């Protein structure tokens, strides 16, 4: 949290004050800010989430169709 706070509080192009974390002391130079996290791990997580949601929706649709097919409705 300390490192992330220093990173977020430091303006672009500026150097932060020294920050102490559990790993030691750090100085942060903020060169630019990303609007989105596009690291490979973030992209992999996003793809996995998309596939999970799609599979869930397919299973839900199949289950609902099965329920409809098995339902008995008597209209008089």
Beta strands at 19-21 and 24-26: parallel, antiparallel or unpaired: antiparallel
Q: Please state the φ and ψ torsions of residue 32, each to the nearest 5 degrees.
A: -165, 165
Tens of pLDDT along the chain (76 residues) come to 888 899 999 999 999 999 999 999 999 999 998 877 778 888 899 999 999 999 999 999 999 999 999 998 888 8
Tell me the pTM. Answer: 0.46
Measure Cα distances from 66 to 49, 53, 54, 70 in Å. 26, 20, 18, 6
Retrieve residue 64's tokens. Answer: 């609902």
């Amino acid at each position: 949290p300390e490192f992330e706070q220093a990173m977020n509080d430091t303006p672009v192009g500026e150097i932060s004050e020294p920050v102490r974390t559990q790993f030691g002391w750090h100085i942060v130079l903020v060169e630019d800010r990303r609007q989105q996290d596009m690291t490979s791990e973030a992209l992999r997580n996003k793809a996995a989430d998309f596939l999970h949601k799609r599979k869930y929706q397919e299973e839900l649709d199949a289950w609902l169709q099965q329920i409809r097919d098995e339902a008995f409705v008597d209209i008089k």
